Amino acid sequence: MSPWIVWCVILVVGLGTFTLRSVFIFVLDGAADLSILKRILYFVPPVVMAALVSSSLLLRDDLLVPGPGLQRLMAGLIAGLIAWKTRNILATIVGGMAIMWTLGYLMN
């Protein structure tokens, strides 16, 4: 991808994110009723993350691939357990990487 496209994305997302962060701080005078927005946004983080996890663990070139992706899938499932038990990003990443390397070593 050409660097200037990446820079365009960075600047537009940067500006957009700043707008999301600042809009109510600038315009809101008191408390606001955000219950509908809150209900929608409540689901955004789990849904985005679940979709990203699912596609990166289960798909390769849009196809369901068990073979080469199997050790990553198993490592991912165990990493999910680690995340659940520890609630720690670093432990999840280090644990998951260690399991993938171990499985790769055992399976080759």
Query: Does 106 participate in binding other proteins (rule CB under 8 A)?
Result: no
Query: Does 5 participate in binding other proteins (rule CB under 8 A)?
Result: yes
In the complex, least distance from residue 28 CB atom to other proteins, rounded to whole angstroms = 4
Among 37, 70, 102, 107, binds other proteins (CB under 8 A): 37
Query: Does 68 participate in binding other proteins (rule CB under 8 A)?
Result: no
Query: Does 105 participate in binding other proteins (rule CB under 8 A)?
Result: no
User: Contact at 8 Å (CB) between 82 and 50?
Assistant: no
Q: What's the start-to-end Cα distance of the chain, in Å?
A: 34
Q: How far is 55 from 31, CA to CA, in rounded Å? A: 39
Query: Does 98 participate in binding other proteins (rule CB under 8 A)?
Result: no
Our CB check for other proteins shows the closer of 40 and 106 to be 40
| Amino acid letter, residue 5 | I
Q: What's the chain's Rg over C-alpha atoms?
A: 20
Task: Dig out the tokens for 70 from the structure.
Answer: 């199997």
Query: Does 46 participate in binding other proteins (rule CB under 8 A)?
Result: yes
Query: Does 90 participate in binding other proteins (rule CB under 8 A)?
Result: yes
Q: How far is 84 from 94, CA to CA, in rounded Å? A: 14
Query: Does 70 participate in binding other proteins (rule CB under 8 A)?
Result: no
